[in-house]
Amino acid sequence: MSETIKTDVLIIGAGPVGLFAVFELGLLDIKAHLVDILDKIGGQCAELYPEKPIYDIPGIPLITGHGLTEALLEQTKPFKPIFHLGEMVLKVEKLGDAQFRVTTDGDKVFECKCVVVAAGGGSFQPKRPPIQGIEPYEEKSVFYAVRKMEAFRGKKLLIVGGGDSALDWTLNLQPIAERLTLVHRRDEFRGAPDSVNKMRALVASDDMDLKIGQVTALEGGNGVLTAASIKTKDGVDRIECDAMLPFFGLTMKLGPVADWGLTMEEELIPVDTAAFETNIPGIFAIGDINTYPGKLKLILSGFHEGALMAQKAYHYVYPDKRLVFQYTTSSTSLQKKLGVA
């Protein structure tokens, strides 16, 4: 059964802009939950360039993608945001004035007064490996993410890939699998050297197998996998398996955002520049996902958009109250909310 969660605002996307929106909303006593399809916060900063330095965050001469994510998380802490990671928002429905229902693929339902779409370039989705006939097995015996490790206990597992995800899941699932085989196209790995060493030690002690080659075909029926063919330099090996986990990286796709009744322009959401509200009152779009004359896809633009969005959202959340503009430097009331007064 779906769980219904009531909140003032539901933020779709926990990238830098969604995170800063929590802060701006929090200053105005507006509570937020955030949903992100990634299993971590930080959006592009965390997924695409965690170690790269960013030089154009106002007042911070240099900070990495990871560092910025950590700093934003710290800044949101007084407002106790609740994150729902590893879930994709599928549906946004208007129930009435300042009333929305938002549904995720994790079977959660949110009822909220405003929706903030901070979905960036869209949802990060796994790249499908080029194996003919893979589709019927997806989400039955082929999985692009591990949501519950227990689902793989006692199974014959095939993990495919050479990056950190493939190596991390190899190390995590090997102790509970009946037998685990890691397949990678070459005998060099992009993952952390420590993980590579641990994986090689498990192979040396015969606790798992490593195949250098490519998965070319799957065997089974009705979505139930029984074996996979691996093309190696010496020929084709057949490996019995119950489940395959390919980790071929992520790609950004717009995803379900296009189905929510919002006006779209070339996969972006047009907004007004007074409040960054969409064509549906009460639904806002901030950060890389929106468009307006002069838009720059920069983190600092998304921060500004979040501040103005919060001012308008206040009127939906507290229709009978008057909003008084205040500075964090001089308002004791804001400082109390931040836990510094």
Ligand X SMILES: Cc1cc2nc3c(=O)[nH]c(=O)nc-3n(C[C@H](O)[C@H](O)[C@H](O)COP(=O)(O)OP(=O)(O)OC[C@H]3O[C@@H](n4cnc5c(N)ncnc54)[C@H](O)[C@@H]3O)c2cc1C
What would you report as the CA-atom Rg of the chain, rounded to the nearest whole angstrom?
23
Chain centre distance of CA 266: 22
Question: In the range 257-276, which residues lie near ligand X by CB under 6 A?
Answer: 257
What are the angstrom distances between the C-alpha of 125 and each of 51, 83, 250?
A: 21, 19, 5
Pick 49 or 318: Cβ nearer ligand X: 49
Q: Residue 139: name the closest of 154, 123, 128, 155 by CA.
A: 128
Q: Which residue has the tokens 């990671």?
A: 85
247, two tokens: 């980790």
Which range, of 23-31, 209-217, 299-307, 321-329, touches ligand X by CB under 6 A? 299-307
Pick 15 or 161: Cβ nearer ligand X: 15
Q: Does 306 bind ligand X (CB under 6 A)?
A: no
Q: Does 17 bind ligand X (CB under 6 A)?
A: yes
Out of 7, 302, 309, 310, name the contact with ligand X by CB under 6 A. Answer: 302
Q: Which residue has the tokens 């890691």?
A: 182
- Taking a C-beta distance cutoff of 8 angstroms, is the pair 284, 117 a contact? yes
Question: In the range 102-141, which residues lie near ligand X by CB under 6 A?
Answer: 118-124
144, two tokens: 């692009």
Chain centre distance of CA 254: 13
Pick 124 or 152: Cβ nearer ligand X: 124
Question: In the range 32-71, which residues lie near ligand X by CB under 6 A?
Answer: 35-38, 43-45, 48-49, 54, 56
Q: Does 255 bind ligand X (CB under 6 A)?
A: yes
Site string for ligand X, 187-206 (x = CB under 6 A): --------------------
In 53-88, at which residue ranges do the beta strands (DSSP E only) sit?
53-54, 63-64, 82-85
| Residue 321 CB, nearest approach to ligand X (Å) | 28
Pick 72 or 317: Cβ nearer ligand X: 72
Q: Does 230 bind ligand X (CB under 6 A)?
A: no
Q: Residue 81: name the closest of 164, 148, 14 by CA.
A: 14
| Residue 94 CB, nearest approach to ligand X (Å) | 17
| Residue 88 CB, nearest approach to ligand X (Å) | 4
- By DSSP bridging, strand 99-104 and strand 89-96 are antiparallel
Rounded to whole angstroms, the Cα distance separating 125 from 3 reads 24
Using CB under 6 A, list all residues that contact ligand X. Answer: 12-18, 35-38, 43-45, 48-49, 54, 56, 88-89, 118-124, 255-257, 287-288, 297-300, 302
